[in-house]
Amino acid sequence: MGIVQTGTEGFTASELEVLMNLFKLFKKDPAKKLRKEYHLKLEKALHAQRNGNIREYSFLTSEAEAVKERLDAVNAQSEGNGQ
């Protein structure tokens, strides 16, 4: 078995940057789940409205707006981090 190197002594700065970008591919996008939830709630609200269920439409619309606020916060945070 070979020696396991810990730390970053063996890499140049450009190699480290490439490695960091590769690992970003596997990082989950937290906004993706929120966008999906937001659109799903809006779609359900649309169907409730079309079926004449205004109470459910109002409830789902308010839930969608709450999800949208969380999505906006996540997007603002990721822009602040320079991603």
Domain residue spans of the chain: 28-80
Residue-wise pLDDT for 36-79, tens only, equals 999 999 999 999 999 999 999 999 999 999 999 999 999 998 87
33 backbone φψ class: left, alpha, beta (φ>0; ψ -120 to 50)? alpha
Structure tokens at 3: 């020696």
Is the pTM above the cut of 0.95? no
pLDDT for res 30:
84
Among 57, 24, 25, 62, smallest CA distance to 43 is for 57
Of 18, 71, 2, nearest in space to 40 by CA: 71
